[in-house]
Structure 1
Amino acid sequence: MHDAWSWVSGVLAPQGPIAASELKILFNATAIMLTVVVPVIVLTLAFAWWFRAGNKSARRLPDWSYSGRIELVVWSIPTLIVVFLGGIAWLGSHDLDPYREIQSKTSPLVVQVVSLDWKWLFIYPEKNLATVNELVVPANTPVNFQLTSASVMNSFFVPQLGSQIYTMPGMTTRLSLKADKRGIFPGFSAQFSGSGFSDMRFDVVVKASDEFEAWVNASHQANSVLDQASFTNLSQQSSNVAPARFAAVEPGLFNSIVVGSAHAAHAQAMQSGHMPDMGE
């Protein structure tokens, strides 16, 4: 129950422009639907009260069957609601396209995300470092995510920053987010992926730009390097993994993960006798 409330409270407390826009869509859609829900509840109670057994003024018209005016009202209201909700969904799906980069005077930070069993790997290709179960980003800076999975399909979600998006083996999805201020915001997997699913959590630590650069410099003092061998060890199933850092990353590792998981999925399909077609 606590986790569910944390998720809801996070959505209702946006800390970035994407999450704020999504909250606005949620409120607008709720307000439009309440224009029907509230009158229906009020009229239901009013009809029950008016046509009670003790009201001698209520008339019973057993032969009445049709009214063009009533039909017009009954069908026009839901039609308008569908049009309004459809318009909100149409505009929102284009304005908040996860592949659309956030416009800013500040150059974006690129972060490559790999979902594993059951932990998250974050690679900073421009900074030549990587972290596990901890995502550190600068405030007021767009972050362009490139996401994939080295195991099964998963879902990357930071409620207070917005836009849940899937990670899939052999594929790369993209997402752009931005945090408006410093703080620590929870992130987690929103897709069941096995016994360790509930422990697939991480903190998004938003720092000032100078603090972020100091963190990058401090991370480079670590002794561990993320190469193919260390990634193979990291990709073994484990849960409740403590945050960790890698001072350097093997060039092209993210692309090799994408290609390697694609080959693994293809081999598994061959063994099972099911070859996915282009529609899957």
Structure 2
Amino acid sequence: MLKLKLFFISLFSILFLSGCEMIVFQPQGPVARSITELINWSLIWMGLVVVVVFALFGYIIWKYREKPENMDYEPPEEHGNTLYEIIWTAIPILIVIAITIPTVKTLYALEEVPKGYEEKEPITIHVTSADWKWIFSYPEQDIETVNYVNIPADTPVDFKLTSASTMQSFWVPALGGQKYSMGKMETQLYLVADNPGSYWGRNTNFNGKGYADMEFEVLAQTQEDFDKWVEEVRETAPELTEEKYEELLKPTHLGRMTFNKTHLEWVNHADPNSKTYTHPELYKNHGYRGKTFEEEDNYRNKNNQEHMNHDSHDNDSNDGHGGDHSGH
């Protein structure tokens, strides 16, 4: 018992002394609140299961413990209790159903504009992930940012996610759940910030040595401040060129950057026919620098060559018998 107490004291000390912030339990928008409510609902059921199982475990261990008066006791063979077996089979099924129904309903609801914001026009922001940076394109405002994104508070934001290279995972814990960004396809994520504030986001999908520092800031502003920021960018930021953009896509870490114009004018990475911007020769810190195959579909070519060599060997073997082997 003493060891158990020491374990829990140590665990709580580590959590508090490390300054651990449970951001997912501090939702700052309707999407995050839906996810937090779902997590809490699941925790209630999991806690109930743990309490009941441990209580039964302790009761059974105590009740059927070995005692001096039953040292030589041999229990008779008994048939299982059918009613009990039905009960302990049905209970887990009912618990799974109780968790599954709200989970499915919440997941489908998250694919739409959050409830209560249906009448508000969303702002569209294209998110392009690259090793190891986040690029945000505002097609309506015709501006682009790197490693930070400003949004108007109390307004739905339609994030359209894609990747210029490897697969990443876009996550802003205070505002919603994570969603993958993948090359030559597009995923969609709606988020809303209730109030102005600064929120931390990051990539949660391992995609190389630099992913740990692949973070960004979401700054929710009043509509007035957001409009003022957009005008300031238009007046002061340099224009994004295709050459500059291709330089940005190389696997590097960058600070914050702001541009006039967006790369959507010449490439949309969500298009299946778009150009690929990977640079395998630049991944020198992974032990394997990366290289492309010299021949198209090298794997098939290798198999065909082995197959042809095998057929040729069969022909040589059959020649002594006068056979005619035509191959496959």
TM-score (norm 1): 0.85
Contact 1:149 1:261 in 2 (8 A): no
Contact 1:139 1:178 in 2 (8 A): yes
Contact 2:110 2:190 in 1 (8 A): no
- How far, CA to CA, are the matches of 2:141 and 2:68 in structure 1? 78
The percentage of aligned residue pairs carrying the same residue is 30
Contact 1:104 1:141 in 2 (8 A): no
Cross-structure match for 1:278: none
Cross-structure match for 2:63: 50
Pick one of 38, 45, 51 that aligns with 1:32. Answer: 45
Give the AA of the match of 1:243.
R
Matches of residues 64-103 of structure 1 in structure 2 within 5 Å? 64-97=78-111, 100-102=112-114, 103=117
SS at match of 1:264: coil
Q: Residue by residue, what CA displacement relative to the aligned partner does 1:110-147 show, whole Å, maximum 9, x if unpaired?
A: 10111011100001111111110001101000000111
Which runs of no fewer than 5 residues in structure 2 stay unpaired?
Answer: 1-13, 278-291, 301-328
Cross-structure match for 1:125: 139
Once the two structures are overlaid, the 10-residue window that deviates more, 148-157 or 63-72, is 63-72
Contact 1:171 1:262 in 2 (8 A): no
Matches of residues 1-280 of structure 1 in structure 2 within 5 Å? 9-54=22-67, 61-97=75-111, 100-102=112-114, 103-239=117-253, 241-249=254-262, 252-253=265-266, 255=268, 257-259=269-271, 262-264=274-276, 271-273=296-298
CA shift in 2, pair 1:260/1:50, >3 Å: closer
Deviation (angstroms), 1:180: 0.6
CA shift in 2, pair 1:181/1:14, >3 Å: same
If each structure's strand is expressed as a fraction of its own residues, which one has the higher value?
Answer: 1
Once the two structures are overlaid, the 10-residue window that deviates more, 217-226 or 12-21, is 217-226
Once the two structures are overlaid, the 10-residue window that deviates more, 196-205 or 101-110, is 101-110
- How far, CA to CA, are the matches of 1:156 and 1:259 in structure 2? 19
- How far, CA to CA, are the matches of 2:57 and 2:264 in structure 1? 66
Contact 2:172 2:200 in 1 (8 A): yes
Deviation (angstroms), 1:190: 0.9
Contact 1:140 1:178 in 2 (8 A): yes
- How far, CA to CA, are the matches of 1:165 and 1:49 in structure 2? 48
Once the two structures are overlaid, the 10-residue window that deviates more, 229-238 or 118-127, is 229-238
**Considering only CA atoms, is the larger Rg found in Structure 1 or Structure 2?**
2
- How far, CA to CA, are the matches of 2:26 and 2:262 in structure 1? 35
- How far, CA to CA, are the matches of 1:6 and 1:132 in structure 2? 29
Q: Residue by residue, what CA displacement relative to the aligned partner does 1:163-205 show, whole Å, maximum 9, x if unpaired?
A: 2111111111111111111111110001111121111100111
- How far, CA to CA, are the matches of 2:105 and 2:84 in structure 1? 32
Deviation (angstroms), 1:233: 1.2
Contact 1:29 1:88 in 2 (8 A): no
SS at match of 1:181: coil
Give the AA of the match of 1:152.
T
SS at match of 2:170: strand
- How far, CA to CA, are the matches of 2:120 and 2:271 in structure 1? 32
CA shift in 2, pair 1:6/1:158, >3 Å: farther
CA shift in 2, pair 1:108/1:114, >3 Å: same
The root-mean-square deviation of aligned C-alpha atoms, in Å, is 2.9
Give the AA of the match of 1:246.
F
Deviation (angstroms), 1:105: 3.3
SS at match of 2:235: coil
SS at match of 1:226: coil
Deviation (angstroms), 1:156: 0.7
CA shift in 2, pair 1:185/1:111, >3 Å: same
Deviation (angstroms), 1:254: 5.0
Deviation (angstroms), 1:271: 4.0
Once the two structures are overlaid, the 10-residue window that deviates more, 75-84 or 138-147, is 75-84
Contact 2:185 2:272 in 1 (8 A): no
- How far, CA to CA, are the matches of 1:25 and 1:120 in structure 2? 29
Q: Residue by residue, what CA displacement relative to the aligned partner does 1:197-228 show, whole Å, maximum 9, x if unpaired?
A: 11110011111111111111111122411232
TM-score (norm 2): 0.74
